[in-house]
């Protein structure tokens, strides 16, 4: 139903009105010559007192959202359509609507009930994973990927819980063919393998990366920037896959800091100084190639299949100088002169 509103009751909606008429109508309104006899919501009847004591009846009616119909019993309105009495009545009714009608509970309730509620568009179900891969310069990048289940034909048909879904992702890698880079915020409640807070973490990372990281759309998030979120991602246990030469394997989070220790290895070439990490049955070292420094601050390493923080990050400055090989003929010199000092520095 059309209603008399503050926007409709504007003198600019009065058609073919001259500025002299508007000026006189404003004066009538300022002098209090208008009495609102009836207000029904879609129409209003006013009595306007003329300059010589005459009383004229003005009717205002809403005819559609943007059309205001007016009538007045004065002779001028019969000839011209809009008179000063109509202008004064329009201003008086508008003031009444603003000061009285809009503050009534029934008006506010009608506004709520008549306003169309926009339907929330729910995103299609998807899964969220991360890929750890190297860019064109050989530096690690952290890439958030989403897989729309409608495009992944090998997706499980049954409704799996989040933990079971992540196990399925680790076993069936066919999702790689339809995985896409996350370029905008994801719907937290449409994700099948992670809770909403984990999706919001991804949205925050992507938002920051798009602003600060020039190469994000091509190669993902720089590892130094992504490592700041690793403690949260480890707590949320998000799935991460190492991508190397088209080979993919699932990584695991080790949220507890690991101790990087010094190791002396004997070979035909002599003694080799190495650094290593032990996580359960996994033994990783730099010389073996399965221990990689991902970030120095905060300090995180890739040890075998584990992503782990480092308890003694100062030791990570050594890998740039490795390997250090002591020839067999100089082994005694190493043991007597350098080994005691090295033992003090390295755990």
pLDDT in tens, 220-258: 898 989 999 999 999 999 999 999 877 899 999 999 999
Q: 124 in helix, strand or coil?
A: coil
Give the total residue count for the chain: 347
Last residue within a domain, chosen from 114, 147, 167: 114
* 339 and 247 housed in the same domain: no
Between CA 170 and CA 251 the distance in angstroms is 9
Between CA 248 and CA 253 the distance in angstroms is 16
Tell me, yes or no, whether 61 lies in a domain.
yes
Between CA 334 and CA 328 the distance in angstroms is 10
**Predicted confidence (pLDDT) at residue 318 exceeds the cutoff of 80:** no
What pLDDT sits at residue 92? 96
Tell me, yes or no, whether 119 lies in a domain.
no
* 243 and 324 housed in the same domain: no
Tell me, yes or no, whether 155 lies in a domain.
yes
* 137 and 216 housed in the same domain: yes
- % residues pLDDT > 70 (the chain): 96
What pLDDT sits at residue 133? 92
The total of structural domains in the chain comes to: 3
Helices marked H in the chain: 19-30, 75-80, 84-99, 105-114, 162-171, 196-212, 216-219, 223-227, 230-236, 331-333, 339-345
**pLDDT tens-digit profile of 25-70?**
999 999 999 999 999 989 999 999 998 889 999 999 998 778 899 9
Which of 141-155, 204-218, 254-268 is predicted most confidently? Answer: 141-155
* 232 and 280 housed in the same domain: no
This prediction has a pTM of 0.65
What are the backbone dihedrals phi and psi of residue 83, each rounded to the nearest 5 degrees, phi first?
-120, 180
* 35 and 110 housed in the same domain: yes
* 298 and 234 housed in the same domain: no
Tell me, yes or no, whether 157 lies in a domain.
yes
* 20 and 97 housed in the same domain: yes
Last residue within a domain, chosen from 194, 216, 251: 251
What pLDDT sits at residue 246? 75
**Predicted confidence (pLDDT) at residue 137 exceeds the cutoff of 90:** no
Tell me, yes or no, whether 328 lies in a domain.
yes
Tell me, yes or no, whether 298 lies in a domain.
yes
Tell me, yes or no, whether 105 lies in a domain.
yes
What pLDDT sits at residue 16? 64
Domain that holds residue 184: 126-251
Between CA 284 and CA 250 the distance in angstroms is 17
* 294 and 191 housed in the same domain: no
**pLDDT tens-digit profile of 284-304?**
988 888 999 999 889 999 999
Last residue within a domain, chosen from 204, 232, 251: 251
């Amino acid at each position: 139903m059309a209603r008399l509103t503050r926007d409709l009751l504007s003198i600019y909606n009065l058609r073919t009105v001259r500025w002299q008429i508007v000026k006189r109508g404003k004066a009538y309104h300022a002098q209090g010559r208008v009495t609102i006899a009836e207000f029904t919501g879609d129409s209003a009847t006013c009595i306007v007192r003329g300059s010589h004591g005459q009383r004229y009846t003005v009717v205002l009616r809403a005819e559609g959202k943007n059309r205001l119909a007016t009538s007045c019993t004065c002779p001028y309105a019969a000839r011209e359509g809009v008179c000063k009495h109509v202008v004064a009545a329009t201003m008086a009714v508008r003031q009444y609507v603003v000061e009285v009608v809009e503050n009534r509970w029934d008006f506010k309730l009608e506004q709520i009930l008549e306003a169309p509620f926009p339907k929330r568009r729910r995103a299609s179900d998807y899964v969220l994973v991360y890929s750890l891969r190297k860019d064109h310069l050989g530096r690690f990048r952290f890439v958030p990927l989403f897989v729309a289940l409608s495009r992944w034909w090998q997706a499980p048909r049954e409704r799996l819980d989040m933990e079971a879904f992540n196990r399925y992702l680790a076993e069936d890698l066919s999702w790689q063919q339809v995985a896409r880079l996350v370029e905008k915020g994801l719907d937290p409640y449409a994700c099948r393998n992670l809770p909403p807070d984990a999706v919001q973490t991804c949205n925050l990372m992507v938002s920051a990366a798009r602003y600060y990281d020039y190469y994000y759309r091509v190669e993902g998030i720089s590892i130094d920037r992504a490592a700041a979120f690793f403690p949260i991602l480890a707590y949320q246990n998000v799935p991460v896959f190492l991508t190397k030469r088209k080979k993919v394997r699932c990584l695991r989070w080790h949220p507890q800091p690991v101790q990087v220790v010094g190791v002396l290895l004997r070979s035909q070439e002599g003694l080799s100084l190495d650094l290593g990490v032990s996580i359960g049955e996994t033994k990783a070292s730099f010389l073996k190639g399965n221990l990689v420094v991902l970030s120095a601050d905060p300090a995180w390493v890739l040890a075998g299949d584990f992503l782990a923080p480092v308890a003694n990050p100062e030791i990570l400055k050594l890998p740039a100088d490795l390997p250090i090989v002591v020839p067999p003929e100089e082994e005694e010199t190493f043991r007597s002169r350098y080994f005691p000092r090295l033992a003090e520095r390295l755990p």
